[in-house]
Amino acid sequence: MEKVKTKILCAGLVVAASVYGFSVQTQEGETNSLFRENVEALASGEYEQGVICWGYGSLDCPTGEKVDWIATQYRLD
């Protein structure tokens, strides 16, 4: 009888550890995607300086418009 209780306890601990591990992994994935979105939002202003977009076409300008030509300024910072 005591062996059965020990086996049930061990199985319960394994299930609890698995659920906890899955939960932590899921939360880290959400944190990483949120982190990437924040980095992209902060970096979006960097590309607007020194970029010139002309016309109407299929290229994605960093300002969010569809243009025909994109010219960038090269700098050695």
pLDDT reported for residue 31: 61
Listed in sequence order, the residues at least 6 apart from 67 whose beta carbon sits closer than 8 Å to its beta carbon are 53, 54, 55, 56, 57, 59, 60, 61
Query: What residues make up the domain containing 29?
Result: 2-72
Tens digit of pLDDT for each residue in 3-50? 888 888 888 888 888 888 777 766 555 567 777 777 777 776 555 567
**57 in a domain, yes or no?**
yes
**14 in a domain, yes or no?**
yes
Residue type, position 31, single letter: T
Task: State the average pLDDT over residues 57-77.
Answer: 80
Number of domains in the chain: 1
pTM summary value: 0.36
**55 in a domain, yes or no?**
yes
**77 in a domain, yes or no?**
no
pLDDT band at residue 64 using 50, 70 and 90 as cut-offs:
confident
Rg (CA), the chain: 26
